[in-house]
Chains A and B, each alone.
Chain A
Amino acid sequence: MFTAEVFANVFEPLTLLYLVVGVAAGIGIGCLPGLTATMGVALVLPLTFGMEAIPGILLLLGVYVGAIYGGSVSAILIRTPGTPAAAATVLDGYEFAKRGEAGRALGISTLSSFVGGMISCVILAIMAPWLARIALKFSSPEFFLLAVFGLCVIASISGASLAKGLLCGALGMILACVGIDGITAHMRYTYGNINLLSGINYIPVMIGLFAMSQAFEGVEDIFKRNAVTGAIPSVLPRRSDLLVMARVAPLCGLAGTAIGIIPGAGADIAAFVAYGQTKNLSKRPELFGTGIPEGVAAPESANNGVTGGALIPMLTLGVPGDAVAAIMIGALTVQGLQPGPLLFRNHPALINSVFMGMFLANIVMCLMGFFCIRAFVKVLSIPKAILTPAIFMLCVVGSYAMANNFFDVWTMLVFGIVGYFLNKIDIIASPAVLGLILGPMAESHFRRALLMGRGSYGVFFSTPLTWIFWGLIAFSLFLPFWQRRKGGSAGRK
């Protein structure tokens, strides 16, 4: 499989340089709120037009892998998920930083991302053509059930009060109703404003709820001395953390890869699902959200697991697994290469170079991550009087840069204020983001499924895949109750 030609392709010095630059750029882009992995790859794309196919595609893969990882850095350090993929990492990651253990959390995130990424690469390299056909089995009923399965995670990320979490999730889903309805073109809550036609974008909402609200809070104690210092004993994970990761990361990496294969489901959903299910299966679910290693390892291994998974339907079928893969199809087409079955048949060396490039990108990401942790943590020793305004600025620039539309900045500010007050009354904002991401997916697929099934609810039970999802939904809803009962009888608080 990895022939001499493939080695020669990938280990060409210039190609390697592009890969390393890609990963570095990706981590940088991922750290910045508003600049998502999709945006990063799209920004770098025009640079590849003048390049040969392999260096060009490896540069893009580097950015992709780096950006999905990079989102966790700002999530852990300043409670700002750099990309939607890191929204779940905030829950436990920032708790580490509050305790002054940001370095430990970053180490866990780096190694887990690496494990998740490597697992997805292995699956990509050995099983891609077989798994690709499964991707095509997904139709609207399955997508709807996947969205419902994702929404079940609200139960796991609500913190102390399930009622507050559900309320918050419902708020997200109500916000998701805004815009032109995709099945009948009815305009909902748009008030004649063209900026609302395509709905409320979840990225400025996310930046507002997490980052801006945190910055508002930062203003309250802007002249206080920093409680946490930048000093960290070691960047390498300790033994107990390694044991936790060994348990959690491979499984979540696999789950991430599986979700990545499904066209239209990406790293954000994977991270939330992994977090929720790891909590469900954990022996200490009550500690999630207080800064425990599995709370970082689960979402981070899952979101990087998506990277290899998303490439599977793209390379084998020419079908985008997520938004980034869609752009990569464009990149390959510009090179005169059509992703799909023909690519496998006619360009095996290119395909294998892509596989090897993915492995290398993950290794580079891991090394670079560990190398930079000390530098990343220095961010926390910046005085609040400088850091807080800088976060303000990043929030504004990030939400504007995404679509070059100033409306998004107002959206971000409004949700920054909402998030500030949610913090004050101890409501965790994550369910709202989940509702906003999954609400439109659930709604459009529910209605499309009924349209295709001519109004019969039987479509939701019509295929083996739908039954698997019903099983998963039942499992994730009832397991916590069962555990609580078991835990209660064992005398747990």
Chain B
Amino acid sequence: MKRIGCALALAAALVLAAGWAPSLDYPRSPVSIIVPYGAGGGTDLIGRALADTVKGSFPRGIAVENRLGGGGSVGMSYGQNARPDGNIITNITVELVTLPHTGTGGDISHEKFIPLIMFNSTYSAVTVQKSSPHNTLKDLLTAAKTDPIQVGNSGIGAIWHLAAASLEQAAGVEFIHVPFDGAAPAITSLLGGHIDAVTVSYAEVVSQVDAGELKVLAVLAPQRLPVAPDIPTATELGYNVSVGSWRGFGVPLNTPPEIVAWLEKTFTDGVNSPGFVKFMKDTKNDIELLSSAEYAKRLARDYEMFGKLINDLGLSK
């Protein structure tokens, strides 16, 4: 079944490529997708799956290249300063609009990229142990008024720390923020009962929720998540907080508009292909598709929002 899906996707991509290629002298050379995080991680897996889906449109090949360091800033900086010919595409992540505010982004800036498409988003899920006495978000936040509640995150100043902090702001409580080196150790610590809650993404806790080890009290999302329609949003519960992470592709500023348009179309078709949709479903990731223009607005909006939040938290440079 999987093979048939891939074959169909490939065929679709080939047909598209045939229809588009004559009008444009691109791609003439091999194209690289820069993933600023490690091979085998979430960003890498999705990036590779999407690259695999569209490889028929790139006759000279499309390859994923992991450039690590600086919490994502090294790879994104490389990508934004590459020659604007469309041969270097960067897998941009929410860190593009958070790291500049914390002063740890080097020269990275969302204004130095033309966003192609956004293909994935994930939102913070306030998660506790299944046996926790807190059954609703309100329980947890009420308890936080009197007791010290330890909330684990994926690193200081990282997106899920910002999520917990903005919930704190909205509810007028204080948590003890416990930063871990990534989301996985934070979840492990919660499983062991060493902390009270985590605010990492829904995608990262879903397997433990399905296994009956953890429960999600609320998601910090604008709407209920398609993958979890039963879980309320914080906004519904009276706390106006929405903090999420996203993944997308961008090319350097000054890339010719016809190349941008071709890439946007190619990747949009890739995201909608059955193979990619199945991959995202299997890995419990949501597809949220934004066009180049919508994505640019989202980047500007998030840049403002995180700037204010990081400043309020005293984490700005």
Contact = CB atoms under 8 A, between A and B. Distances in A.
Nearest to B187: A319
A340 B211 contact: yes
B188 A263 contact: yes
A42 interface: yes
Interface stretch (A66-74, A118-126, A135-143): A135-143
A198 to B, nearest CB: 6
Interface in A301-351: 313, 317-320, 326-327, 330, 333-336, 338-342
A327 B178 contact: no
Nearest to B194: A139
Contact of A338 (B42, B104, B211): B211
B179 to A, nearest CB: 6
A407 B69 contact: yes
A50 interface: yes
Nearest to A344: B211
Contact of B156 (A45, A185, A198, A404): A185
Contacts of A43: 39
Given A50-B3, A319-B191, A338 B106 contact: no
A371 interface: no
A42 B192 contact: no
Contacts of B45: 45, 330, 334
Interface string B54-94: 00000000000111111101100100000000000000000
Nearest to A39: B39
Interface residues of B, number: 60
B185 A263 contact: yes
Interface in B220-266: none
Nearest to B6: A50
Contacts of A198: 68-71
A182 B155 contact: yes
B211 A187 contact: no
Contact of B282 (A38, A313, A335, A405): A335
B104 A317 contact: no
A490 interface: no
Nearest to A407: B69
A330 B40 CA distance: 7
| Best-surrounded residue of A46, A187, A335 (most CB of chain B within 10 A) | A46
Contacts of B157: 185
Nearest to B64: A46
A184 interface: yes
Interface string B280-317: 00111000000000000000000000000000000100
B208 interface: yes
Interface string A425-467: 0000000000000000000100010011010000000000000
Contact of B210 (A39, A338, A444): A338
Given A185-B102, A334-B283, A452 B69 contact: no
Contact of A50 (B2, B65, B156, B195): B2
B38 interface: yes
B192 A139 contact: yes
Nearest to A319: B188
Given A185-B156, A197-B73, A405-B69, A330 B41 contact: yes
A452 B178 contact: yes
B14 interface: no
B138 interface: no
A194 B106 contact: yes
B199 to A, nearest CB: 16
Contacts of A317: 191
A195 interface: yes
Contact of B207 (A42, A187, A318, A404): A318
Given A185-B157, A198-B69, A454-B148, A42 B40 contact: yes
B40 A451 contact: no
A138 B193 CA distance: 10
Contacts of B111: none
A403 B41 CA distance: 14
A41 to B, nearest CB: 7
B109 interface: no
Interface string B201-217: 00000011011110000
Contacts of A50: 2-3, 6
B282 A264 contact: no
Contact of B74 (A135, A195, A327): A195
| Best-surrounded residue of B49, B69, B156 (most CB of chain A within 10 A) | B69
Contacts of B184: 319-320, 326
Contacts of B189: 139-140
B25 interface: no
B176 interface: yes
A418 interface: no
Contact of B211 (A135, A197, A342, A407): A342
Given A136-B191, A182-B155, A342-B211, A197 B71 contact: yes
A135 B71 CA distance: 28
Contacts of A263: 185, 188
A421 interface: no
Given A42-B39, A138-B192, A448 B178 contact: yes
B112 interface: no
Contact of B213 (A39, A195, A339, A341): A341
Contact of A333 (B3, B150, B283): B283
A199 B38 CA distance: 15
B148 A183 contact: no
A481 interface: no
Contacts of B192: 136-139
Given A405-B67, A448-B178, 11 more contacts: A136-B188, A185-B156, A194-B73, A263-B185, A318-B207, A330-B41, A334-B282, A335-B282, A404-B66, A452-B176, A454-B176
Interface of B: 2-3, 6, 38-42, 44-45, 48-49, 52, 65-71, 73-74, 77, 102-107, 148, 150, 155-157, 176, 178-181, 184-185, 187-189, 191-195, 207-208, 210-213, 279, 282-284, 315
28 contacts: A38-B40, A42-B44, A49-B279, A135-B188, A137-B192, A139-B194, A182-B181, A185-B104, A185-B156, A194-B70, A194-B105, A195-B74, A197-B69, A197-B71, A198-B70, A263-B185, A333-B282, A334-B283, A340-B207, A340-B211, A340-B213, A341-B211, A341-B212, A405-B67, A405-B69, A448-B178, A448-B179, A452-B178
- The 5 A-B pairs of least Cβ separation, nearest first, read A42-B39, A194-B106, A327-B40, A136-B192, A42-B40
